[in-house]
Copies of this chain bind each other. A is one copy, B any other.
């Protein structure tokens, strides 16, 4: 790999020009009018991958936006890496806050400024160029497949079915994804966990109509009071969720892994200051990053009922509602949690009200142990470029498709991202430092190498 840096240096203007061609296509998946752009982006990816050296590439229709699939099989007996990326981007509103045209990339202050510069055109493109290098220099140690989808920003509704329909074609030993971030530009980071989600809407019905709170108050049970009691009952003084069986499938992380995770820089004081709170909270016995990363959480995302206008209306309302969510950790099943929550709530509700629990939405958590060879391969690859051990990070957020991949293919995904918080993904003035872009291209070939070696 001694020529890798030279290869990047010699071709960098071309790499950028090719990336910019992709960025100029406004492939906003959530806007109907941009549907033709999804096909343009898919074709652009096909062309890019063919040029980079795949044996074959094809744009597949799905029930939604297209998927570009490509592969280079050098030997069916060798291990196979499946690269996942997405060609779609978020809308650009509020457009007024952009300093430049979101779909006309410019380089300024050492950064590419454009929608998709990071998420996920910039990061996806690193894989195309790293692959190109390996092919052109005849160093590819494994088979490589590319699956570039067009619906990530709208929750990947069509991809699971498409994957199942094409499960033989997609067969691989690991999935590699660059769609996450680094702690800072000097600290290589591998995201080893994503939380899952269960999300309900709860409706509590008391009397059949709004009542006068004077004439009825004290004898008729108030559904807002009940809903508040139910919510309060769902956590205890130690911040534990009280639903029986809720923690049954939670696997405690080994102390060694907790120690490694604790290396991610975090400062409670700065964290509190940034969101302007005097005190943090959560489950007893865990740090802030553990509370958001490796432990489940319980949040009411919305609540409403009764009179919410100006002034004082004395009403004992008929109904109260809440949107209630739990974030889940690996090995918890969101459907099972969905059921036990519903049952528990119906159990603890007083007979004076009717409770209707509707499961709105859910997703599995994802976890990747730092002891796995695919993790070690990414760790070693990042050390080649950054000169230090990568830090594993468990993100509190969810990327449901990652845990779906594990369910469908039975393999792990390595989330080796090169984004930075300042890249402002999903926001105006999204950007990607050139250094991160080229470091990404520089790192990925080593991942190929070490991952293939782990099979020997």
Residues of chain B within 8 A of A302, CB atoms compared? 224, 305-308, 313, 315, 317
B311 touches A281 (CB 8 A): no
Segment of A62-70, A79-87, A392-400 in the binding face = A392-400
Segment of A97-105, A183-191, A202-210, A254-262 in the binding face = A202-210
Partner of A232 from the list B232, B278, B303 (CB cut-off 8 Å) is B232
CB contacts under 8 Å to B, within A296-317, are 296-308, 311-317
Identify the interface centre among A197, A224, A295, A321: most chain B CB within 10 Å of its CB. Answer: A224
Cβ-based interface call for A216 (8 A):
yes
Segment of A123-131, A170-178, A345-353 in the binding face = A345-353
Q: Complex: how many Å from CA A218 to CA B396? A: 9
CB contacts under 8 Å to B, within A75-132, are none
A301 touches B315 (CB 8 A): yes
Residues of chain B within 8 A of A275, CB atoms compared? 207-209, 211, 216, 220
Shortest distance between the CB of A325 and any CB in chain B (Å): 6
Selected A-B contacts with CB under 8 Å, 24 pairs: A207-B275, A207-B276, A211-B275, A215-B292, A216-B275, A217-B297, A217-B327, A218-B282, A219-B271, A219-B288, A219-B289, A219-B291, A221-B281, A221-B282, A232-B233, A278-B352, A300-B306, A301-B317, A304-B304, A304-B308, A307-B323, A312-B323, A312-B361, A313-B323
Cβ-based interface call for A372 (8 A):
no
CB contacts under 8 Å to B, within A322-361, are 322-323, 325, 327, 350-353, 360-361
Minimum CB distance partner of A239 in chain B: B218
Partner of A276 from the list B208, B215, B227, B327 (CB cut-off 8 Å) is B208
B311 touches A219 (CB 8 A): no
Partner of A229 from the list B214, B232, B315, B397 (CB cut-off 8 Å) is B232
Residues of chain B within 8 A of A312, CB atoms compared? 199, 201, 301, 323, 325, 360-361
Partner of A227 from the list B213, B228, B308, B314 (CB cut-off 8 Å) is B228
Residues of chain B within 8 A of A220, CB atoms compared? 275, 277, 280-281
Residues of chain B within 8 A of A297, CB atoms compared? 213, 217-219
Q: A residues within 8 Å of B by Cβ?
A: 195, 197, 199, 201, 206-209, 211-222, 224-225, 227-229, 231-233, 235, 271, 275-283, 288-289, 291-292, 295-308, 311-317, 320-323, 325, 327, 350-353, 360-361, 395-398
Identify the interface centre among A216, A300, A311: most chain B CB within 10 Å of its CB. Answer: A300
